Structure 1
Amino acid sequence: MTFQKELRTTERISSIEFFRPQYENPWTVPNLLCMCRILLAPYLGYLITQQHFDLSLGLFTLAGATDLLDGFIARTWPTQKSALGSALDPLADKILISVLYVSLTYAELIPAPLTALVIFRDIGLIAAVFWVRYKTVPPPVTLSKFFNPCYTTAQLKPTLFSKVNTAIQLFLVAASLAAPVFHYTDSALLQCLWYVTAVTTAASGYSYWHYGRKTVKVLNTRSP
């Protein structure tokens, strides 16, 4: 029994030494901009359900500007780039897109099956992110360690399909918000955009499944 206990202790120590913790400052400008987009999402959804499309379109444009700005800052100033940001930026996009698609479906501007496809894909990706986090946090995994934004374990690398799909999904949101403002809700081009978005959403989900581990860079390495 003593030998087995020592063996388990040795295995536990070895598994812990497999990881080298990396810490970073989560309070960067890009990360704060991402948080602003997340906080803005429910308010935008409320405005859409109340059919304040003019204001919704203006705030959505502002949200899009913050998305471009946080990426520019992260690329220009290395100190502003973080592993947390690599996960927070797409998470903010997914939360914003999901809320807007549900709201636009409620307003009868986007079909329900397309919204269901978008949300189903995003739920799968978010679940995958949590699974990667769980597998890369050094044991023992605790809630404080799991949700500690300063404790970085992996960096996400979105696929090309995912980047294109996000752009198309956001373009559809902008077009749908502008439709009642500029009176083209029955446009055939808008309906064609629904099908294009559905195809790119499905292709993006498949690309993550196909490339798998290539979309994740584990930052923890074996200690020398």
Structure 2
Amino acid sequence: MIRSINVSSATLRHGIIHSPFRLVTKPSNGLRFCRVRPLSRPSRPSIILARLYSDEKSPKENIKPTELAKKVLQEAAKRENIYTIPNMLTFGRLLASPVIGYLVVTHQTSWALAVFGLSCVTDLLDGYIARKYNMQTVVGSVIDPMADKTLMMTLATCLAVSGDIPLYIATLILGRDFLLFLSALYYRYISLPPPKTFTRYWDFSLPSAEVRPTTISKYNTFLQMIYLGSSLVFPVLSQSITIETAQSIGMALKGLEYVVATTTILSGLSYVFSKDAVKILSKPNGKP
């Protein structure tokens, strides 16, 4: 008599088989033979279920289905989809930053302006799409200001090297953003639930802290873009206008320079004294 038993990977206790199988037994001459026939490939939840079952309980223990389902839901809730259109636009802005820097240093101003303008457009689009189509993510709240600051730091450095902006304003922009970057690394570490491994630390689908830009910081980013963009286009524009007009624009840029220096300092202080700038999503022990 031939017997067949369907066995799911979730019923295993000593290990994980990545496919469910059919165990077929057949008696022959007093002996019992068995063979394994693979079934269809399981879904991802069944694999997670099997992992949780095999990892959390020993072979002698029985796990309750309700407890198992709860663990699966908790595992799924810890992750979020980071492959959204707004996040892709933000990543594109990150990749465009070194390209803009190279174009500025090599005096390819027209191309630098084109890529910089495109980056500014994506900065407006990603926020609009995220809000309108409910694609806001914790990762987006972190990498969006990171992309803005990477662009500002790269452009400020290259413009200072080429002599288009004073060294002190570039130092203010770089110093503030570098300190914010270090604080972001710190908050990521203290808010990440255990185990605190290198892989989990850089896994952006495991959100642990949310960065909320302050009001003065938003104005500062806008003013920095205007100032750095104007400093980028001014050398090209000055070749086709009169000397008096160029001097007037130069004085306006000087005034904007002082405004940007002030807002850069104030926005940095706002992150220090604001209680809502950083929100911890999970406690260090892993509890929400």
Distance in 1, matches of 2:236 and 2:111, equals 10
How far is the alpha carbon of 1:163 from its aligned partner?
Answer: 0.3
| AA in 2 matched with 1:191 | K
Q: Which residue of 2 aligns with 1:29?
A: 85
Report what 2:190 is aligned to. 135
Could you say what the CA RMSD is over the residues aligned between the two structures, in angstroms?
Answer: 1.8
| Residue of structure 2 in register with 1:99 after alignment | 154
Structure 2 residue aligned with 1:153: 208
User: How many Å apart are 1:223 and its aligned residue?
Assistant: 5.0
Q: Which residue in 2 is equivalent to 1:56?
A: 112
Q: CA deviation at 1:217?
A: 1.7
Q: 2:281 aligns with which of 199, 204, 219?
A: 219
Distance across 1 between alignment mates of 2:195 and 2:118: 42
Other-structure match for 1:67: 123
Aligned to 1:110: 165
- C-alpha separation in 2, matches of 1:139 and 1:32: 29
Which of 1 and 2 has greater Rg?
2
On the 8 A contact 1:48/1:104 being kept in 2, the answer is yes
Structure 2 gap segments, 5+ residues each: 1-73, 239-245
Q: Does 1:199 align with 2:262?
A: yes
Matched residues in 2 for 1:22 and 1:109: separation? 46
Shift of 1:22: 2.0
- Runs of 5+ in structure 1 lacking a partner? 1-18
Going from structure 1 to structure 2, the CA distance change for 1:162 and 1:218 (only over 3 Å counts) comes to same
CA contact (8 A) 1:57 1:178 kept: yes
What is the DSSP-based 3-state SS (H/G/I as helix, E as strand, rest coil) of the residue aligned with 1:152?
A: coil
Tell me, in whole angstroms, the C-alpha distance in 2 between the residues paired with 1:66 and 1:130: 25
Are residues 1:169 and 2:224 paired?
yes
Q: Which runs of 4+ in 1 moved over 4 A?
A: 221-224
Q: Which has the higher helix share?
A: 1
CA–CA distance in structure 2, aligned partners of residues 75 and 38 of structure 1? 21
Question: Any idea what SS the aligned residue of 1:23 has?
Answer: coil
Cα shift readout 1:80-109 (whole Å, capped 9, x = no counterpart): 210000000000001110000001111111
| Conserved 8 A contact 1:22-1:220 | no
Quick check: which one's strand share is greater?
2
- The TM-score normalised by the length of structure 1 is 0.86
TM-score by length of 2: 0.68
2:66 alignment counterpart: none
Aligned residues: 204
Deviates more, 1:34-43 or 1:186-195: 186-195
Once the two structures are TM-superposed, the CA of residue 150 in structure 1 deviates from its matched residue by 0.8
Residue in structure 1 matching 2:237, options 182, 192, 195? 182
Whole-angstrom distance in 2 between the partners of 1:134 and 1:43? 31
